[in-house]
Structure 1
């Protein structure tokens, strides 16, 4: 009945994963039984699993990523006590300040012709002007449901997305457990985890209706940003979501942000993913590290994952 009725009407192959997400909420009823030993690999590998998007990218554009990494660390760790009107401005806005400064530095390198005779891969990674990306973008672009036509259902695509969602459930568990520890908040109970993943399923459904190429999942870098800024407020998330919705309708602004060289993000990922991974390892303090069985469980889980 789902393929013949709900799926064609509500969003094609992305509907089944969203329904599966709600059906899988019983999985999170078992989250109250997750031991600290089991959460070590789950939370740590949320950060370690994205390692290839961080430091390995350094070699593509050393002259941008290394200054970005150094400046971010200096502002967030060594100058974090600098305050303006009792506001630790450098700790709160270390990522924003360092990204803006290095972005301007990348524009200077591009304008000075530093990449004219470099390999194509280097130019693609380092140049701050993305082939008329800004000039070709429209000023205003309003997205609407079913913009790309009526939804279709394909069993192969649907089952493939179901497998992806099942993996995303585990990743979301690790991120939801990591976020409150980095924000110095209380651990989320089982019903909060269920509610979070349920809304993640709604996000996947909306992605299918609007015809996006990806679904919705947790943002590991934002979890790491909680540990860097020490700001864990829902109001911040709500305002950020409003900004993203607003700027998504302004094509020029979206293209402007898309022109930021990826090595700038990769340098930030080195810090943010590291914070998430170290938070996962911090669960070891609640385990008996004199037990050979615990060593075996953690070692096998980390190596196989």
Structure 2
């Protein structure tokens, strides 16, 4: 007898794609990542006075370690590596502190050795502190993670824009039409491929855009590959190439602060990637990701590189291509190891013109922000505390990102905070969430009342039944049984939970009770509404499209409709007026509903009642939150 062997389906994250696809998708990640990967050693070398040969070695070491770190994070072993499609790169947060450490130690290789000592210690500290940091996950609700992810995407966009105008420094030329043509042409090609093609072609749109843009630039003489001829075929970095590391207490403390901030960024990237690939992220996942960061950073200090973190740039690529396999990132890691060992290969990739890279980066980085928007959509913004948290965090992040010179206005110890919009915005979101939601009594958002006499969620949870019915009875016409049964579902976690309680009570009732409720509602555009007999809420709702003062001809048309509806279904025509465009659309929709079966139309009436109650609930909450009301207006 044959046995029914059932196997668990493989999650897209764990799917091993065919070798050709792994190679192509992986190389696409490398191209998208390359400029960001090498910028840190370039900035550091120039700042502390290293020569060209030392810079080339730093770049090779950086790429080699990036590859090793990406494989550790994506493939994982023991309790190390989150096993998501997350690519590792040197954190930008460390640039300013490392320059400060290097210059304080005299610059050159002497300064480099002190940097490496701090990097090794900070990496080990991160590795061992990872499980303790992960226990703080309750301080990272959607209002924090959504803010951080949004900030990461927005803060990276100026980097993309800088590449699009020719790169940083003297090479930047915003007035160049050629730079704009390369950047927008690459972006347009990526969008066009995404629109026209499906499947494999759509997933490699970024790669095609980069290769096509570079080819056109080369034909026009704007892509230079001279460095290939002068680069060596083989360049192997050795541990402690520049000498044995030196350990400075002040440098170590500075680097520990960097790694703490990096842990916050990594946590945001892990949550962002979890959102994209539809995989739940928990405490142990965060711990595994941070252990990988710590181990990779320690390896970086040994192999002449720097602190590592999950690269947000490539999170956007995962979102854009929808290729979720972590083995693609592992293949990208192999490519980077090869690039780190073969300087000629690295020089080839380095030939991509900045404007072409910038055009692709605009699409990728913006998609990171979109993931943040999706996360923030789960936040209860009726709770004005959440509005303050997100607005302040994003505002400060933009302030520092657009005006980087403000970092010079603060003491030296604070430059690390004000030197990065991602750092300042992320920490702001975390601190404000702690202050608003974890210090003092959590009285909850205002859900009813008016300024000076607000009714907050904790007060709702403590109400007697009669008071609860008096507060929320106006959400429904006629009988109070919906509100009374919603009361039985206390305590409510947030305004969304309270709203759902009314909906569940409405649809769970028996048919006789539902019929009683339906009969309590007035006809669409009925005379009793115009005369105020149905209450101020009905009058206000139906006045949206002028149903309370219709011209005689239109009033007769509405009356004919409602009479025909009542004759067919023996109940009033109930429509949520706010959700329909105008009177003409209301009448047309009403006549269409005459063709429904009675059972279907009864359910439609209940849905319309739920919509009306939802709008009335929004009015209650808005009246209790004047800033929310002003924003809505």
Instruction: Give the TM-score normalised by the residue count of structure 2.
Output: 0.41
Deviations 1:35-91 (A, max 9, x none): 112222111111112122112443332131111111112112x1242xxxxxx1221
Tell me which residue corresponds to 2:140: 34
State which of 71, 94, 97 in structure 1 corresponds to 2:205.
94
Q: Structure 1 residues 263 and 154 mapped into 2: Cα distance closer, same or farther (>3 Å)? A: farther
Structure 1: which 5+ residue stretches go unaligned?
Answer: 1-7, 82-87, 111-126
Structure 1 position 79 matched with structure 2 position 171:
no
Q: Secondary structure at the match of 1:269?
A: helix
Distance in 2, matches of 1:106 and 1:156, equals 47
Distance in 2, matches of 1:155 and 1:267, equals 43
Distance in 2, matches of 1:207 and 1:80, equals 40
Between Structure 1 and Structure 2, how many residues are aligned? 270
CA drift of 1:255 comes to 0.9
State which of 206, 218, 228 in structure 1 corresponds to 2:310.
218
> Which 10-residue stretch deviates more, 185-194 or 29-38?
29-38
Q: Secondary structure at the match of 1:50?
A: helix
Deviations 1:139-184 (A, max 9, x none): 111222112222222333322222221221111111100012122x
Q: Secondary structure at the match of 1:188?
A: coil
Instruction: Give the TM-score normalised by the residue count of structure 1.
Output: 0.83
State which of 177, 201, 205 in structure 1 corresponds to 2:298.
205
Tell me which residue corresponds to 1:152: 246
Aligned residues of 1:91 and 1:229 also touching (Cα < 8 A): yes
Aligned residues of 1:106 and 1:128 also touching (Cα < 8 A): yes
CA drift of 1:260 comes to 1.3
Q: Structure 1 residues 43 and 20 mapped into 2: Cα distance closer, same or farther (>3 Å)? A: same
Distance in 2, matches of 1:151 and 1:59, equals 39
State which of 220, 227, 235 in structure 1 corresponds to 2:319.
227
Distance in 2, matches of 1:33 and 1:152, equals 36
Aligned residues of 1:91 and 1:228 also touching (Cα < 8 A): no
Q: CA RMSD in A?
A: 1.8
Structure 1 position 247 matched with structure 2 position 344:
no
Deviations 1:173-231 (A, max 9, x none): 11100012122x2221111111111111111111111112x321111121111111111
Aligned residues of 1:32 and 1:190 also touching (Cα < 8 A): no
CA drift of 1:23 comes to 4.2
CA drift of 1:33 comes to 4.6
Larger radius of gyration: 2
Q: Structure 1 residues 163 and 32 mapped into 2: Cα distance closer, same or farther (>3 Å)? A: same
Aligned residues of 1:79 and 1:90 also touching (Cα < 8 A): no
Tell me which residue corresponds to 1:171: 265
